[in-house]
Structure 1
Amino acid sequence: MFQRFRRNRLNSHLRALVREYHVRADDFIYPLFVRSGEGIKTEVASMPGVFQMSIDEAIRECDTLKALGIYSIILFGIPDVKDSVGSDALDENGIIATAVKAIKRAHPEMFVVTDLCFCEYTDHGHCGIIDHVHETVDNDATLAISGQQAIIHAQAGADMIAPSGMMDGIIETLRTALDGNGFENLPVMSYSTKFASGYYGPFRDVAESTPSFGDRATYQMDPANRREAIAESIADEMQGADILMVKPALAYLDIIRDIREATSLPLAVYNVSGEYAMLKHAGAAGLIDYERVMMETMLGFKRAGADIIISYHAKEVAGLL
Protein backbone atom coordinates (compact mmCIF):
# COMPACT_ATOMS: atom_id res chain seq x y z
CA MET A 1 0.00 0.00 0.00
CA PHE A 2 1.40 3.41 -0.94
CA GLN A 3 1.57 6.19 1.62
CA ARG A 4 -0.89 9.06 1.20
CA PHE A 5 1.21 12.11 2.06
CA ARG A 6 -1.69 14.34 1.04
CA ARG A 7 -3.64 13.41 4.16
CA ASN A 8 -1.51 15.89 6.09
CA ARG A 9 -1.99 18.61 3.46
CA LEU A 10 -5.74 18.73 2.93
CA ASN A 11 -6.53 20.93 5.97
CA SER A 12 -4.81 24.27 6.57
CA HIS A 13 -4.67 23.76 10.35
CA LEU A 14 -3.07 20.35 9.94
CA ARG A 15 -0.55 21.79 7.51
CA ALA A 16 0.37 24.34 10.17
CA LEU A 17 0.69 21.66 12.83
CA VAL A 18 3.14 19.54 10.83
CA ARG A 19 5.12 22.45 9.34
CA GLU A 20 8.82 21.83 9.99
CA TYR A 21 10.31 25.32 9.69
CA HIS A 22 8.99 28.76 10.52
CA VAL A 23 10.05 32.33 9.78
CA ARG A 24 9.73 34.79 12.69
CA ALA A 25 10.36 38.49 13.04
CA ASP A 26 13.09 37.85 15.58
CA ASP A 27 15.05 35.77 13.05
CA PHE A 28 16.08 39.02 11.35
CA ILE A 29 18.81 41.63 11.51
CA TYR A 30 17.99 44.74 9.47
CA PRO A 31 20.81 46.69 7.76
CA LEU A 32 20.98 50.47 8.21
CA PHE A 33 23.29 52.84 6.31
CA VAL A 34 24.15 55.98 8.25
CA ARG A 35 25.89 59.20 7.31
CA SER A 36 26.37 62.64 8.86
CA GLY A 37 23.84 65.45 8.62
CA GLU A 38 20.21 65.83 9.64
CA GLY A 39 16.93 64.98 7.98
CA ILE A 40 18.62 62.88 5.29
CA LYS A 41 16.77 59.86 3.93
CA THR A 42 17.90 59.19 0.38
CA GLU A 43 16.52 56.16 -1.45
CA VAL A 44 18.97 54.10 -3.52
CA ALA A 45 17.72 53.62 -7.08
CA SER A 46 19.08 50.08 -7.40
CA MET A 47 17.51 49.02 -4.07
CA PRO A 48 13.93 50.35 -3.79
CA GLY A 49 12.99 50.85 -0.15
CA VAL A 50 16.61 51.07 1.07
CA PHE A 51 17.99 54.44 2.16
CA GLN A 52 21.09 56.28 3.21
CA MET A 53 20.04 57.98 6.45
CA SER A 54 21.33 60.60 8.80
CA ILE A 55 21.50 59.43 12.39
CA ASP A 56 18.30 61.20 13.41
CA GLU A 57 16.44 59.37 10.63
CA ALA A 58 18.03 56.06 11.66
CA ILE A 59 16.72 56.64 15.19
CA ARG A 60 13.22 57.16 13.78
CA GLU A 61 13.64 54.03 11.68
CA CYS A 62 14.23 52.07 14.87
CA ASP A 63 10.74 53.07 16.06
CA THR A 64 9.32 51.50 12.90
CA LEU A 65 11.39 48.36 13.35
CA LYS A 66 10.32 47.90 16.96
CA ALA A 67 6.67 48.26 16.01
CA LEU A 68 7.21 45.34 13.62
CA GLY A 69 8.95 43.21 16.25
CA ILE A 70 12.47 43.69 14.86
CA TYR A 71 14.99 44.61 17.55
CA SER A 72 18.29 43.83 15.81
CA ILE A 73 20.11 46.06 13.32
CA ILE A 74 23.50 46.04 11.64
CA LEU A 75 25.11 49.42 10.97
CA PHE A 76 27.18 50.47 7.96
CA GLY A 77 28.81 53.89 7.91
CA ILE A 78 29.30 56.34 5.05
CA PRO A 79 31.95 58.88 6.09
CA ASP A 80 32.30 62.43 4.84
CA VAL A 81 35.99 61.92 4.07
CA LYS A 82 37.74 58.78 2.84
CA ASP A 83 41.47 58.12 2.78
CA SER A 84 43.93 55.31 2.12
CA VAL A 85 43.60 53.71 5.57
CA GLY A 86 39.95 54.43 6.39
CA SER A 87 40.73 56.86 9.20
CA ASP A 88 37.05 57.57 9.98
CA ALA A 89 36.67 53.95 11.05
CA LEU A 90 39.47 54.49 13.59
CA ASP A 91 37.99 57.68 15.04
CA GLU A 92 36.00 57.56 18.28
CA ASN A 93 33.94 60.41 16.81
CA GLY A 94 33.58 58.77 13.41
CA ILE A 95 30.23 58.02 11.81
CA ILE A 96 29.77 54.48 13.21
CA ALA A 97 30.85 55.31 16.76
CA THR A 98 28.62 58.39 16.75
CA ALA A 99 25.66 56.42 15.35
CA VAL A 100 26.00 53.61 17.88
CA LYS A 101 26.04 56.04 20.80
CA ALA A 102 23.02 57.94 19.52
CA ILE A 103 20.94 54.86 18.73
CA LYS A 104 21.72 53.19 22.06
CA ARG A 105 20.75 56.38 23.90
CA ALA A 106 17.45 56.62 22.07
CA HIS A 107 16.73 52.88 21.90
CA PRO A 108 18.69 51.06 24.62
CA GLU A 109 16.71 47.88 23.96
CA MET A 110 17.84 47.69 20.31
CA PHE A 111 20.54 45.09 19.62
CA VAL A 112 23.12 47.01 17.60
CA VAL A 113 25.57 45.04 15.47
CA THR A 114 28.42 46.91 13.78
CA ASP A 115 29.96 45.89 10.49
CA LEU A 116 33.72 46.02 10.97
CA CYS A 117 35.55 46.65 7.71
CA PHE A 118 37.31 49.44 5.82
CA CYS A 119 35.79 49.32 2.33
CA GLU A 120 33.27 52.09 3.08
CA TYR A 121 35.98 54.29 4.60
CA THR A 122 38.88 54.00 2.14
CA ASP A 123 39.32 56.09 -0.99
CA HIS A 124 40.27 52.93 -2.91
CA GLY A 125 37.21 50.95 -1.79
CA HIS A 126 39.12 47.89 -0.62
CA CYS A 127 38.76 46.26 2.79
CA GLY A 128 42.03 47.37 4.35
CA ILE A 129 45.51 48.75 3.83
CA ILE A 130 46.79 48.20 0.30
CA ASP A 131 49.86 46.11 -0.51
CA HIS A 132 50.88 48.05 -3.62
CA VAL A 133 53.44 45.46 -4.70
CA HIS A 134 50.82 42.74 -5.13
CA GLU A 135 47.84 45.08 -5.64
CA THR A 136 45.80 43.47 -2.90
CA VAL A 137 44.99 44.08 0.74
CA ASP A 138 47.86 43.64 3.20
CA ASN A 139 46.36 41.04 5.52
CA ASP A 140 48.48 41.58 8.63
CA ALA A 141 48.61 45.38 8.43
CA THR A 142 44.83 45.35 8.18
CA LEU A 143 44.55 43.05 11.19
CA ALA A 144 46.47 45.59 13.27
CA ILE A 145 44.01 48.41 12.59
CA SER A 146 40.99 46.07 12.79
CA GLY A 147 41.70 45.54 16.46
CA GLN A 148 41.62 49.33 16.95
CA GLN A 149 38.32 49.56 15.11
CA ALA A 150 36.81 46.84 17.30
CA ILE A 151 37.70 48.70 20.50
CA ILE A 152 36.10 51.90 19.15
CA HIS A 153 32.89 50.00 18.36
CA ALA A 154 32.89 48.32 21.76
CA GLN A 155 33.49 51.56 23.66
CA ALA A 156 30.67 53.22 21.71
CA GLY A 157 28.26 50.56 22.97
CA ALA A 158 27.96 48.00 20.16
CA ASP A 159 26.20 44.80 21.23
CA MET A 160 27.98 42.62 18.69
CA ILE A 161 30.77 43.10 16.14
CA ALA A 162 30.67 41.56 12.67
CA PRO A 163 33.98 41.68 10.74
CA SER A 164 33.32 41.41 7.01
CA GLY A 165 36.72 41.91 5.39
CA MET A 166 37.74 38.24 5.07
CA MET A 167 41.20 38.78 6.55
CA ASP A 168 42.90 35.57 7.69
CA GLY A 169 43.17 35.60 11.48
CA ILE A 170 40.59 38.34 12.00
CA ILE A 171 38.61 36.54 14.71
CA GLU A 172 41.67 35.77 16.83
CA THR A 173 42.82 39.38 16.40
CA LEU A 174 39.49 40.85 17.47
CA ARG A 175 39.02 38.41 20.30
CA THR A 176 42.47 39.24 21.68
CA ALA A 177 41.84 43.00 21.39
CA LEU A 178 38.38 42.85 22.93
CA ASP A 179 39.33 40.50 25.76
CA GLY A 180 42.43 42.55 26.56
CA ASN A 181 40.33 45.70 26.94
CA GLY A 182 37.59 44.35 29.18
CA PHE A 183 35.12 43.34 26.45
CA GLU A 184 35.41 39.59 26.87
CA ASN A 185 31.61 39.23 26.87
CA LEU A 186 31.09 41.08 23.57
CA PRO A 187 30.16 38.52 20.88
CA VAL A 188 31.66 38.38 17.39
CA MET A 189 29.59 37.31 14.40
CA SER A 190 32.06 36.34 11.72
CA TYR A 191 31.48 36.77 8.00
CA SER A 192 33.18 33.39 8.04
CA THR A 193 32.33 32.23 4.51
CA LYS A 194 32.02 35.26 2.24
CA PHE A 195 32.29 34.79 -1.49
CA ALA A 196 33.68 37.14 -4.14
CA SER A 197 30.21 37.47 -5.59
CA GLY A 198 28.50 39.41 -8.34
CA TYR A 199 25.45 39.76 -6.09
CA TYR A 200 26.94 42.69 -4.17
CA GLY A 201 26.54 45.37 -6.85
CA PRO A 202 23.63 47.38 -5.38
CA PHE A 203 25.25 47.36 -1.92
CA ARG A 204 28.19 49.24 -3.36
CA ASP A 205 25.76 51.91 -4.54
CA VAL A 206 24.27 52.46 -1.10
CA ALA A 207 27.56 52.08 0.81
CA GLU A 208 29.60 53.97 -1.79
CA SER A 209 32.27 51.28 -1.62
CA THR A 210 33.02 50.20 -5.20
CA PRO A 211 36.75 49.35 -5.52
CA SER A 212 38.68 51.92 -7.55
CA PHE A 213 40.84 49.16 -9.04
CA GLY A 214 40.66 45.41 -9.40
CA ASP A 215 38.22 43.37 -7.34
CA ARG A 216 38.13 41.49 -4.04
CA ALA A 217 38.88 38.01 -5.38
CA THR A 218 42.28 37.93 -3.65
CA TYR A 219 40.68 37.92 -0.20
CA GLN A 220 37.04 36.90 -0.62
CA MET A 221 36.24 33.29 -1.48
CA ASP A 222 36.06 31.68 -4.92
CA PRO A 223 32.36 30.85 -5.55
CA ALA A 224 33.44 27.48 -6.98
CA ASN A 225 34.99 26.19 -3.73
CA ARG A 226 32.82 24.11 -1.44
CA ARG A 227 35.40 22.40 0.79
CA GLU A 228 37.25 25.65 1.35
CA ALA A 229 33.97 27.31 2.31
CA ILE A 230 33.51 24.83 5.15
CA ALA A 231 37.15 25.16 6.22
CA GLU A 232 36.87 28.98 6.40
CA SER A 233 33.95 28.82 8.83
CA ILE A 234 35.47 26.08 10.97
CA ALA A 235 38.71 28.08 11.22
CA ASP A 236 36.78 31.08 12.54
CA GLU A 237 34.96 28.87 15.03
CA MET A 238 38.32 27.63 16.33
CA GLN A 239 39.52 31.23 16.70
CA GLY A 240 36.55 32.09 18.91
CA ALA A 241 33.70 33.28 16.69
CA ASP A 242 30.34 33.18 18.44
CA ILE A 243 28.20 33.12 15.28
CA LEU A 244 29.17 32.09 11.74
CA MET A 245 27.80 33.47 8.48
CA VAL A 246 27.42 32.59 4.81
CA LYS A 247 27.26 35.48 2.34
CA PRO A 248 25.56 35.62 -0.16
CA ALA A 249 22.69 33.28 0.68
CA LEU A 250 20.46 32.48 -2.28
CA ALA A 251 23.02 30.89 -4.61
CA TYR A 252 24.81 29.17 -1.70
CA LEU A 253 22.10 27.12 0.00
CA ASP A 254 24.29 24.01 -0.33
CA ILE A 255 27.08 25.78 1.56
CA ILE A 256 24.66 26.85 4.30
CA ARG A 257 23.63 23.23 4.74
CA ASP A 258 27.24 22.00 4.67
CA ILE A 259 28.29 24.42 7.40
CA ARG A 260 25.13 23.76 9.42
CA GLU A 261 26.12 20.07 9.52
CA ALA A 262 29.75 20.86 10.38
CA THR A 263 29.16 23.09 13.43
CA SER A 264 26.82 23.58 16.37
CA LEU A 265 27.37 27.36 16.45
CA PRO A 266 24.49 29.65 15.44
CA LEU A 267 24.55 30.30 11.71
CA ALA A 268 23.59 33.55 9.98
CA VAL A 269 23.03 34.21 6.30
CA TYR A 270 23.24 37.55 4.53
CA ASN A 271 20.44 37.93 1.97
CA VAL A 272 22.45 40.41 -0.06
CA SER A 273 21.60 43.45 -2.15
CA GLY A 274 21.57 41.74 -5.53
CA GLU A 275 19.17 39.07 -4.27
CA TYR A 276 16.93 41.77 -2.84
CA ALA A 277 17.04 43.89 -6.00
CA MET A 278 16.16 40.95 -8.25
CA LEU A 279 12.97 40.26 -6.32
CA LYS A 280 12.08 43.93 -6.02
CA HIS A 281 12.45 44.69 -9.71
CA ALA A 282 10.83 41.43 -10.82
CA GLY A 283 7.88 42.17 -8.55
CA ALA A 284 7.56 45.73 -9.85
CA ALA A 285 7.54 44.37 -13.41
CA GLY A 286 4.74 41.95 -12.55
CA LEU A 287 6.90 38.92 -13.30
CA ILE A 288 6.45 37.27 -9.89
CA ASP A 289 4.12 37.33 -6.92
CA TYR A 290 6.61 39.38 -4.92
CA GLU A 291 5.38 38.66 -1.39
CA ARG A 292 4.97 34.95 -2.03
CA VAL A 293 8.45 34.59 -3.55
CA MET A 294 9.98 36.70 -0.78
CA MET A 295 8.50 34.50 1.95
CA GLU A 296 9.46 31.33 0.07
CA THR A 297 13.02 32.61 -0.14
CA MET A 298 13.18 33.30 3.60
CA LEU A 299 11.82 29.86 4.34
CA GLY A 300 14.48 28.38 2.05
CA PHE A 301 17.19 30.03 4.15
CA LYS A 302 15.74 28.59 7.34
CA ARG A 303 15.32 25.14 5.80
CA ALA A 304 18.94 25.17 4.62
CA GLY A 305 20.05 25.72 8.21
CA ALA A 306 20.07 29.45 8.95
CA ASP A 307 19.25 30.62 12.46
CA ILE A 308 19.62 34.33 11.63
CA ILE A 309 18.78 36.21 8.43
CA ILE A 310 20.30 39.59 7.61
CA SER A 311 17.94 41.00 5.00
CA TYR A 312 16.65 44.22 3.46
CA HIS A 313 13.29 42.41 3.22
CA ALA A 314 13.03 42.17 7.02
CA LYS A 315 10.43 44.92 7.51
CA GLU A 316 8.18 43.55 4.77
CA VAL A 317 8.47 40.00 6.10
CA ALA A 318 7.66 41.14 9.64
CA GLY A 319 4.69 43.10 8.36
CA LEU A 320 3.30 40.01 6.66
CA LEU A 321 3.90 37.86 9.72
Structure 2
Amino acid sequence: MHRMYIAAITIASAIFIVSAYIAMYYGGGCRILVATTTSLYDTGLLDKLLDEFKNEEPGITVVFIPVGSGEALHMAASGDIDMVISHAPSMERGYMERGILYKQAIVAYNSFAIVGPRDDPASIRGLDPIDAFARIYAAGVEGRIHFVSRGDQSGTHLRELSLWKITGLNPSGSWYIESGLSMSKTLLFANEKHAYTLTDLSTYILLRSQSRIDLEVLVANHSLLLNIYSAYLVNPGITGGYRYSSAEKFFRFLSSSRGQSMISEYTISGIHIFNPASGYEDNLLEIWIELSKL
Protein backbone atom coordinates (compact mmCIF):
# COMPACT_ATOMS: atom_id res chain seq x y z
CA MET A 1 0.00 0.00 0.00
CA HIS A 2 2.84 2.41 0.88
CA ARG A 3 4.55 1.80 -2.50
CA MET A 4 1.24 2.39 -4.28
CA TYR A 5 0.90 5.69 -2.38
CA ILE A 6 4.33 6.86 -3.50
CA ALA A 7 3.68 5.74 -7.10
CA ALA A 8 0.44 7.72 -7.17
CA ILE A 9 2.24 10.87 -6.01
CA THR A 10 4.97 10.37 -8.63
CA ILE A 11 2.41 10.01 -11.41
CA ALA A 12 0.50 13.07 -10.20
CA SER A 13 3.71 15.14 -10.20
CA ALA A 14 4.51 14.01 -13.74
CA ILE A 15 1.04 14.99 -14.94
CA PHE A 16 1.42 18.40 -13.29
CA ILE A 17 4.74 19.04 -15.01
CA VAL A 18 3.43 17.97 -18.43
CA SER A 19 0.41 20.24 -17.97
CA ALA A 20 2.74 23.14 -17.14
CA TYR A 21 4.68 22.64 -20.38
CA ILE A 22 1.46 22.50 -22.41
CA ALA A 23 0.28 25.73 -20.78
CA MET A 24 3.57 27.42 -21.51
CA TYR A 25 3.86 26.50 -25.18
CA TYR A 26 0.26 26.59 -26.31
CA GLY A 27 -1.48 29.07 -24.04
CA GLY A 28 -0.30 32.23 -25.81
CA GLY A 29 1.60 35.19 -24.34
CA CYS A 30 4.88 35.01 -22.46
CA ARG A 31 5.05 32.16 -19.95
CA ILE A 32 7.83 31.25 -17.58
CA LEU A 33 8.29 28.05 -15.59
CA VAL A 34 9.23 28.32 -11.92
CA ALA A 35 10.11 25.18 -9.97
CA THR A 36 9.35 25.85 -6.31
CA THR A 37 9.56 24.08 -3.00
CA THR A 38 6.21 22.62 -2.01
CA SER A 39 6.06 24.51 1.30
CA LEU A 40 5.81 27.89 -0.45
CA TYR A 41 3.28 26.59 -2.94
CA ASP A 42 1.02 24.66 -0.54
CA THR A 43 0.60 27.61 1.82
CA GLY A 44 -0.87 29.78 -0.94
CA LEU A 45 1.78 32.50 -0.63
CA LEU A 46 3.01 32.19 -4.20
CA ASP A 47 -0.49 32.51 -5.63
CA LYS A 48 -0.96 35.68 -3.60
CA LEU A 49 2.32 37.11 -4.89
CA LEU A 50 1.44 36.10 -8.43
CA ASP A 51 -1.88 37.96 -8.33
CA GLU A 52 0.00 41.18 -7.55
CA PHE A 53 2.70 40.49 -10.13
CA LYS A 54 0.02 40.08 -12.81
CA ASN A 55 -1.16 43.61 -12.06
CA GLU A 56 2.34 44.92 -12.77
CA GLU A 57 3.17 42.61 -15.68
CA PRO A 58 -0.09 41.44 -17.29
CA GLY A 59 1.76 40.08 -20.32
CA ILE A 60 3.72 37.50 -18.29
CA THR A 61 2.21 34.26 -17.05
CA VAL A 62 4.07 32.38 -14.33
CA VAL A 63 3.56 28.62 -14.16
CA PHE A 64 4.61 27.06 -10.85
CA ILE A 65 5.89 23.48 -10.59
CA PRO A 66 5.82 22.45 -6.91
CA VAL A 67 8.47 19.80 -6.23
CA GLY A 68 11.17 19.10 -3.66
CA SER A 69 14.24 21.31 -3.86
CA GLY A 70 16.38 18.45 -5.17
CA GLU A 71 14.03 17.85 -8.09
CA ALA A 72 13.72 21.59 -8.74
CA LEU A 73 17.49 21.97 -9.03
CA HIS A 74 17.73 18.89 -11.25
CA MET A 75 15.19 20.50 -13.59
CA ALA A 76 17.32 23.66 -13.63
CA ALA A 77 20.38 21.64 -14.68
CA SER A 78 18.34 20.15 -17.53
CA GLY A 79 17.32 23.62 -18.73
CA ASP A 80 13.65 22.76 -18.29
CA ILE A 81 12.75 25.77 -16.15
CA ASP A 82 13.53 29.47 -16.00
CA MET A 83 13.69 30.02 -12.26
CA VAL A 84 13.98 28.11 -8.97
CA ILE A 85 12.78 28.85 -5.45
CA SER A 86 14.54 26.53 -3.04
CA HIS A 87 15.49 26.04 0.62
CA ALA A 88 18.42 23.63 0.39
CA PRO A 89 21.62 25.73 0.86
CA SER A 90 24.08 22.82 0.60
CA MET A 91 22.65 21.67 -2.72
CA GLU A 92 22.09 25.19 -4.06
CA ARG A 93 25.72 26.06 -3.46
CA GLY A 94 26.84 23.17 -5.67
CA TYR A 95 24.57 24.24 -8.51
CA MET A 96 25.82 27.81 -8.22
CA GLU A 97 29.44 26.67 -8.39
CA ARG A 98 28.61 24.65 -11.51
CA GLY A 99 27.17 27.78 -13.15
CA ILE A 100 23.64 26.40 -13.41
CA LEU A 101 22.09 28.98 -11.10
CA TYR A 102 22.84 32.44 -12.43
CA LYS A 103 21.71 34.80 -9.68
CA GLN A 104 20.57 34.46 -6.06
CA ALA A 105 18.10 36.50 -4.02
CA ILE A 106 17.22 35.44 -0.48
CA VAL A 107 13.54 36.32 -0.29
CA ALA A 108 12.17 34.85 2.95
CA TYR A 109 12.93 32.75 5.99
CA ASN A 110 11.22 30.91 8.82
CA SER A 111 12.13 27.80 10.77
CA PHE A 112 12.15 24.06 10.66
CA ALA A 113 10.77 22.25 13.68
CA ILE A 114 10.79 18.74 15.08
CA VAL A 115 7.19 17.75 15.71
CA GLY A 116 5.77 14.68 17.35
CA PRO A 117 3.00 13.20 19.48
CA ARG A 118 1.75 15.14 22.49
CA ASP A 119 2.92 12.51 24.98
CA ASP A 120 6.45 12.79 23.53
CA PRO A 121 7.67 9.24 24.27
CA ALA A 122 11.27 10.15 23.31
CA SER A 123 11.25 13.09 25.77
CA ILE A 124 12.69 15.68 23.38
CA ARG A 125 10.53 18.69 24.22
CA GLY A 126 12.62 21.84 24.58
CA LEU A 127 15.95 20.23 23.70
CA ASP A 128 18.35 21.50 21.05
CA PRO A 129 17.91 19.62 17.74
CA ILE A 130 21.08 17.52 18.08
CA ASP A 131 20.17 16.19 21.53
CA ALA A 132 16.62 15.68 20.31
CA PHE A 133 17.75 13.57 17.35
CA ALA A 134 20.00 11.52 19.64
CA ARG A 135 17.04 10.73 21.91
CA ILE A 136 14.83 9.93 18.93
CA TYR A 137 17.47 7.52 17.68
CA ALA A 138 17.74 5.78 21.07
CA ALA A 139 13.96 5.50 21.41
CA GLY A 140 13.69 4.21 17.84
CA VAL A 141 16.30 1.50 18.36
CA GLU A 142 14.42 0.46 21.50
CA GLY A 143 11.26 0.15 19.41
CA ARG A 144 9.36 2.84 21.31
CA ILE A 145 8.82 5.38 18.50
CA HIS A 146 8.78 5.95 14.74
CA PHE A 147 10.41 8.77 12.79
CA VAL A 148 9.14 9.70 9.31
CA SER A 149 11.70 11.19 6.91
CA ARG A 150 10.84 12.93 3.64
CA GLY A 151 13.45 10.72 1.96
CA ASP A 152 13.21 12.70 -1.26
CA GLN A 153 16.25 15.01 -1.41
CA SER A 154 14.03 18.00 -0.63
CA GLY A 155 15.33 20.92 1.40
CA THR A 156 13.70 19.50 4.52
CA HIS A 157 15.19 16.05 3.92
CA LEU A 158 18.66 17.50 3.37
CA ARG A 159 18.46 19.47 6.62
CA GLU A 160 17.38 16.31 8.43
CA LEU A 161 20.37 14.42 7.00
CA SER A 162 22.65 17.24 8.12
CA LEU A 163 21.34 16.94 11.67
CA TRP A 164 21.88 13.17 11.69
CA LYS A 165 25.40 13.75 10.39
CA ILE A 166 26.17 16.11 13.26
CA THR A 167 24.93 13.54 15.78
CA GLY A 168 27.19 10.90 14.23
CA LEU A 169 24.24 8.52 14.05
CA ASN A 170 22.93 6.62 11.02
CA PRO A 171 19.20 5.94 11.40
CA SER A 172 17.89 2.69 9.93
CA GLY A 173 15.48 -0.06 10.73
CA SER A 174 11.72 -0.39 10.88
CA TRP A 175 11.36 2.64 13.16
CA TYR A 176 12.87 4.97 10.51
CA ILE A 177 10.40 5.41 7.63
CA GLU A 178 11.20 7.25 4.38
CA SER A 179 7.94 8.54 2.94
CA GLY A 180 9.11 9.89 -0.42
CA LEU A 181 6.21 12.33 -0.14
CA SER A 182 5.61 16.09 0.00
CA MET A 183 5.77 17.86 3.35
CA SER A 184 2.01 17.96 3.76
CA LYS A 185 1.61 14.26 3.05
CA THR A 186 4.61 13.38 5.23
CA LEU A 187 3.02 15.25 8.14
CA LEU A 188 -0.28 13.47 7.59
CA PHE A 189 1.51 10.13 7.45
CA ALA A 190 3.49 10.92 10.63
CA ASN A 191 0.27 11.92 12.34
CA GLU A 192 -1.28 8.55 11.45
CA LYS A 193 1.79 6.72 12.75
CA HIS A 194 1.96 8.75 15.99
CA ALA A 195 5.51 9.54 14.86
CA TYR A 196 8.13 12.28 14.91
CA THR A 197 9.25 14.21 11.84
CA LEU A 198 11.13 17.32 10.76
CA THR A 199 8.96 19.93 9.05
CA ASP A 200 8.98 23.52 7.92
CA LEU A 201 6.75 25.53 10.24
CA SER A 202 4.63 27.03 7.46
CA THR A 203 3.28 23.66 6.27
CA TYR A 204 2.79 22.52 9.85
CA ILE A 205 0.79 25.65 10.72
CA LEU A 206 -1.32 25.21 7.59
CA LEU A 207 -2.33 21.65 8.49
CA ARG A 208 -2.88 22.46 12.16
CA SER A 209 -5.14 25.36 11.20
CA GLN A 210 -7.19 22.90 9.15
CA SER A 211 -7.36 20.46 12.10
CA ARG A 212 -5.79 17.75 9.95
CA ILE A 213 -2.97 16.90 12.36
CA ASP A 214 -2.51 16.97 16.13
CA LEU A 215 1.27 16.65 16.24
CA GLU A 216 2.94 19.26 18.44
CA VAL A 217 6.03 21.41 17.93
CA LEU A 218 8.59 19.98 20.35
CA VAL A 219 11.88 21.52 19.14
CA ALA A 220 12.28 24.84 17.30
CA ASN A 221 14.00 28.25 17.48
CA HIS A 222 17.57 27.08 16.95
CA SER A 223 20.17 28.31 14.46
CA LEU A 224 20.47 24.82 12.96
CA LEU A 225 16.75 24.96 12.16
CA LEU A 226 16.72 28.30 10.34
CA ASN A 227 14.95 27.82 7.00
CA ILE A 228 16.09 30.20 4.25
CA TYR A 229 14.25 30.50 0.93
CA SER A 230 16.26 31.70 -2.07
CA ALA A 231 15.15 32.53 -5.59
CA TYR A 232 17.49 31.81 -8.51
CA LEU A 233 17.49 32.53 -12.21
CA VAL A 234 18.68 29.62 -14.30
CA ASN A 235 21.72 30.36 -16.47
CA PRO A 236 20.33 31.55 -19.84
CA GLY A 237 23.09 29.60 -21.56
CA ILE A 238 21.34 26.44 -20.34
CA THR A 239 17.74 27.45 -21.00
CA GLY A 240 18.42 29.23 -24.30
CA GLY A 241 17.58 32.56 -22.71
CA TYR A 242 14.33 33.07 -24.64
CA ARG A 243 12.31 33.86 -21.50
CA TYR A 244 15.14 35.19 -19.35
CA SER A 245 14.00 38.84 -19.31
CA SER A 246 10.49 37.81 -18.24
CA ALA A 247 11.83 35.49 -15.53
CA GLU A 248 14.08 38.28 -14.28
CA LYS A 249 11.07 40.55 -13.79
CA PHE A 250 9.41 38.01 -11.48
CA PHE A 251 12.75 37.38 -9.77
CA ARG A 252 13.09 41.10 -9.04
CA PHE A 253 9.47 41.38 -7.92
CA LEU A 254 10.03 38.85 -5.13
CA SER A 255 12.77 41.08 -3.67
CA SER A 256 10.95 44.35 -4.34
CA SER A 257 9.44 46.41 -1.54
CA ARG A 258 5.96 45.32 -2.63
CA GLY A 259 6.86 41.64 -2.81
CA GLN A 260 8.59 41.74 0.57
CA SER A 261 5.65 43.57 2.16
CA MET A 262 3.28 40.89 0.91
CA ILE A 263 5.49 38.14 2.35
CA SER A 264 5.49 39.97 5.69
CA GLU A 265 1.72 40.44 5.67
CA TYR A 266 0.79 36.90 4.65
CA THR A 267 -0.88 34.92 7.42
CA ILE A 268 -2.68 31.64 8.04
CA SER A 269 -5.30 31.81 10.81
CA GLY A 270 -3.76 35.10 11.88
CA ILE A 271 -0.24 33.66 12.15
CA HIS A 272 2.62 35.16 10.14
CA ILE A 273 4.33 32.12 8.61
CA PHE A 274 7.17 33.71 6.61
CA ASN A 275 9.57 36.52 7.41
CA PRO A 276 10.70 38.82 4.59
CA ALA A 277 14.44 38.97 3.93
CA SER A 278 14.39 42.74 3.40
CA GLY A 279 16.79 44.48 5.77
CA TYR A 280 18.45 41.22 6.82
CA GLU A 281 19.96 40.14 3.50
CA ASP A 282 23.60 40.34 4.63
CA ASN A 283 22.99 38.46 7.88
CA LEU A 284 20.92 35.81 6.13
CA LEU A 285 23.58 35.37 3.47
CA GLU A 286 26.20 34.75 6.16
CA ILE A 287 23.95 32.13 7.76
CA TRP A 288 23.14 30.64 4.35
CA ILE A 289 26.88 30.22 3.69
CA GLU A 290 27.32 28.37 7.00
CA LEU A 291 24.28 26.18 6.35
CA SER A 292 25.60 25.38 2.87
CA LYS A 293 28.61 23.73 4.49
CA LEU A 294 26.55 21.26 6.53
TM-score using structure 1 length: 0.28
Compare the two structures and name the one with the higher helix fraction: 2
Task: Flag the structure with larger Rg.
Answer: 1
TM-score using structure 2 length: 0.30
Compare the two structures and name the one with the higher strand fraction: 2
The structure showing larger relative contact order (alpha-carbon pairs under 8 Å, at least 6 residues apart) is: 2
